[in-house]
Structure 1
Amino acid sequence: MLVWSLILGFAVDGETRSIAAFQRAYQTATNQTVARSSFYDRFTPELRALLSDLLAHALEEVAVPHTIAPQLTQFRDTMIADATVFRLHRLLTAFPATHEDQSGAQLYLVYNVTRQTLAQFKLTGERTHESSQFRTGNWLRGRLFLFDLGFYSSRRFALIDENDGFFVSRLKTNANPRIVGERRKWRGRAISLTGTHLQDRLSKLTREHIDVTGEFEFKRRKYGERQSQDIVEFRVVGVRNEDTDDYHLYVTNLPDEFTPEQVAALYSLRWKVELLFRELKSRYGLEKFETGDEAIAELLVTAALLTLVVSRALLAVFQEIEPDVEYPEERWATTFRSVAQPVLADLGLALGHPPPNLPELVRREARQPERSRLTLNKRVAQAFKTVIWP
């Protein structure tokens, strides 16, 4: 019940993940009184390790399979890598922020769009560059990755391609690849781009789409004192934005069966991870921590991620029961937050804890904890009692 209280008890005290709030949630669900010091002593490295193990297990078990379009079934998974920054207690020097006298953590995530769950996560200081957390290797095989410009790297794209993975990224505004071929024919007297650099011809184009092959130079990893230069060819796609009279440009290694509009639509899926970060922060209390203890801060972040995974697991149950019903993620998260406390109470009953004695619970939690601490009324009354007139 302690673990379940950390997962579901976040809604008991506004949006703050504090030990005091979790203590109230635990006592309400179990009908047990626990001293503050005793409850605090349970937040140990062993509890942090347990939550980490549970999260790792849950990430393997929990999935909400969802097919956005039949063409995406050719990929093992569609993944989004991104990171978000949030503030912690200013005394948490283990998480240095970009500004002095602050602490800032960065939560790096790889979100699996296909399974609607987390694939990877890591907590670092705010100063750590998010792209340094993305690891290449054979795990990329058959997967499609969607990147924002924070992860832009021709070398990274080449490694994904060499590992038989796929990617879509926005093209950097200052990127100027040499065009070595056009991937589709245009009617009429279309301007030829082959043999030119993209930026040199971009302002002269009026076509609806751009679909070419471009050369990208990059440096291989340094071995000893040697670092070789290499060139790789990738597809460059552009979709014209009539409102702004310019192009949204993307670099990808997707085959030609994906049209420029489809490449752009795929990239828009990146909004999923932004919604996920907003869900963690606004619905599940990520960053609302009142602790200066590094281990407890990491424990509470893990608990917030477990909250997300449990929410997704329940979503999978509902989607299995009614596969034709749509459950927008943020609407689901808002509903899940509103029922988290009743769910925790039901779990307490299922695990053999008696229902709470509500009058006793209110009396215990609402009364003044220290008799020596006077309320405002009593302080004023006491002042009148002690006044000695001349």
Structure 2
Amino acid sequence: MKPTTIISLKHQLTQFFNADFITNSAKWTGFIQRERAIQPLQLVLSLIAALSKGNCHSIADLHRQFNGMCLSEKDNVAYKPFHNQLRKDEFPNFMKSLVKSAIAQFSQLETPAQPQKLACFDEVLLQDGSSFRVHDGLGEVFPSRFKRKPAAIECHMTMSLSGLSPTAMTITADTASERAYLPQSQTLRNKLLLADAGYVDFDYFEQINQHRGYFLVRGGKSLNPIIVEARNGKGRRFPKLVGKALKDVCRQTNRSAILELTVRRGKQEFRLIRRWFTEEKRYCIWLTNLPRESYSTDDVMAIYRCRWQIELLFKELKSDTNWQRFATAQKAIVEGLVWASLLALILRRSIALQSAKSVSVYKAAKNVDVWLLPILTAYCHQALSEITNHLDWAIRYISNNALKSQQRKSKKDRTLDGIYEKLNA
């Protein structure tokens, strides 16, 4: 453990949990107009503490956490004024502004070096969306795609692979199109975007090309372009496949497990890789503009597996902050708590990732009452002289109890470390 780590973390946290900064953010977003019994800093710290524990099921639990972190009973507030603060229309805007500040302050971490095949990009961005059910009374505000759940929220997220942290998020109804929330193509110059099949948009891909960016996206089952050039995974050409539609090439006509193709859709030509998975008896397709001379088919498939990190992030948000447990029909409360959950995740991950080189953010998130809550309580009580000791303990605890487990060889290429090792080989 380096003393500089504690100094750096203390500086970041003290700067963020500054009473004036939090209060000014609350005033700027209109969340507060005058001084009240519920101070913005104490509210934010209690929300992060409650949502990080993973066992918070109601607004009453949030209220109890707030009172439990007060210095004395005189500072306790009743349930109704606490609830009234959360139901304000400005509450989600306040929490969203803090998330933006946290992204700017905590996302630029010194993470393990990426392999050169990824480090050559200014950034590798992961894109995905995740939906979850909310109170049925919000059906008109957040309509769902499915009849069995009348109301649902969709969170559209962009995540940085290097920092393992979100860079942007938007909250919409579950019915909103995922493609509308992709990063703007002009921002992707010398960046690589990884996305799932729901984000296939050929006009968008062409715009990325024009701005000298890169994409790697899984293709859907309906994709059926014309083959211009065909090779197998070892580079052997298949001239007989030229001119055929992709779906006309099946296991009966070509037994190659991997096909490296140049295909045409309308006036656009692009690189397509198709692999047959014997156990699942299905094809998987990837679309990319990564140059073939620099990125083999194995490289492309390995790089795409990095996208699993955003799935893990959503899993952490849903399971460890209880997104789906709040039975409230108040739109502002639901949105505000989603943003507060993301804020809690960013802070947890930042401390954990700076504590040890081989840390498991999943393990670190499981025992926040041991290492994170004392830090938050110290800031709540303005006991700044105690912060260093609490951070020292947190780093030692995480380094000893939240490191990544040794993976079996059969599963090694599924982990981010294993993928990096393969790309470095």
Which TM-score band (shorter chain)? 0.7 to 0.9
Q: Is 1:252 matched with 2:279?
A: no
Aligned to 1:168: 216
Aligned to 2:15: none
Please tell me whether Structure 1 or Structure 2 has the larger radius of gyration of its CA atoms: 1
Task: State which of 15, 22, 29 in structure 1 corresponds to 2:62.
Answer: 22
Q: Is 1:311 matched with 2:360?
A: no
The range that moved more, 341-350 or 268-277, is: 341-350
RMSD, aligned CA: 2.7
Amino acid at match of 2:68: T
**How far apart, CA to CA, are the structure 1 residues paired with 2:187 and 2:131?**
26
Aligned to 1:144: 192
Q: Could you tell me how far 1:234 is from its partner in structure 2?
A: 0.6
| Greater helix share, structure number | 2
Q: Could you tell me how far 1:66 is from its partner in structure 2?
A: 4.2
Amino acid at match of 1:289: F
Aligned to 2:271: 235
**How far apart, CA to CA, are the structure 2 residues paired with 1:280 and 1:344?**
19
Tell me if structure 1 keeps the 8 A contact 2:143–2:152.
yes
* Distance of aligned partners of 1:101 and 1:279 in 2 relative to their CA distance in 1, 3 Å threshold: closer
Tell me if structure 2 keeps the 8 A contact 1:66–1:116.
no
The range that moved more, 37-46 or 79-88, is: 37-46
Tell me if structure 2 keeps the 8 A contact 1:106–1:125.
yes
Tell me if structure 2 keeps the 8 A contact 1:105–1:125.
yes
Tell me if structure 2 keeps the 8 A contact 1:9–1:341.
no
Task: State which of 181, 190, 210 in structure 1 corresponds to 2:259.
Answer: 210
Q: TM-score, normalised by structure 1?
A: 0.78
For the residue of structure 2 that corresponds to 1:2, the secondary structure is: helix
User: Structure 2 unaligned runs (5+)?
Assistant: 1-41, 387-425
Tell me if structure 2 keeps the 8 A contact 1:13–1:21.
no
Task: State which of 39, 56, 81 in structure 1 corresponds to 2:127.
Answer: 81
Amino acid at match of 1:347: Y
Aligned to 1:347: 379
Amino acid at match of 2:326: F
Aligned to 1:9: 50
**How far apart, CA to CA, are the structure 1 residues paired with 2:235 and 2:47?**
62
Aligned to 1:332: 364
For the residue of structure 2 that corresponds to 1:5, the secondary structure is: helix
Tell me if structure 2 keeps the 8 A contact 1:238–1:260.
no
Amino acid at match of 2:272: V
Task: State which of 242, 246, 250 in structure 2 corresponds to 1:194.
Answer: 242
1:293-338 CA distances to partner (integer Å, 9 max, x unpaired)? 111211111101101111122123214xxx3xx1223223223366
User: Structure 1 unaligned runs (5+)?
Assistant: 218-230, 355-390
Q: Could you tell me how far 1:184 is from its partner in structure 2?
A: 7.8
* Distance of aligned partners of 1:148 and 1:187 in 2 relative to their CA distance in 1, 3 Å threshold: closer
Amino acid at match of 1:277: F
Amino acid at match of 1:42: Q
For the residue of structure 2 that corresponds to 1:173, the secondary structure is: coil
Amino acid at match of 2:324: E
Q: Could you tell me how far 1:55 is from its partner in structure 2?
A: 0.8
Q: Could you tell me how far 1:182 is from its partner in structure 2?
A: 4.2
**How far apart, CA to CA, are the structure 2 residues paired with 1:33 and 1:270?**
44
Q: TM-score, normalised by structure 2?
A: 0.72
Aligned to 2:390: none
Percent of matched pairs sharing the same residue: 25
**How far apart, CA to CA, are the structure 2 residues paired with 1:135 and 1:332?**
30
Amino acid at match of 2:69: A
**How far apart, CA to CA, are the structure 2 residues paired with 1:185 and 1:340?**
48
Q: Is 1:35 matched with 2:81?
A: no
1:260-275 → structure 2 map (5 Å cutoff):
260-275=297-312
1:347-377 CA distances to partner (integer Å, 9 max, x unpaired)? 33444899xxxxxxxxxxxxxxxxxxxxxxx
**How far apart, CA to CA, are the structure 2 residues paired with 1:206 and 1:101?**
43
Question: How many residues are paired up?
Answer: 335
For the residue of structure 1 that corresponds to 2:67, the secondary structure is: helix
**How far apart, CA to CA, are the structure 2 residues paired with 1:61 and 1:163?**
28
Amino acid at match of 1:174: S
* Distance of aligned partners of 1:75 and 1:10 in 2 relative to their CA distance in 1, 3 Å threshold: same
Tell me if structure 1 keeps the 8 A contact 2:142–2:174.
yes
The range that moved more, 342-351 or 113-122, is: 342-351
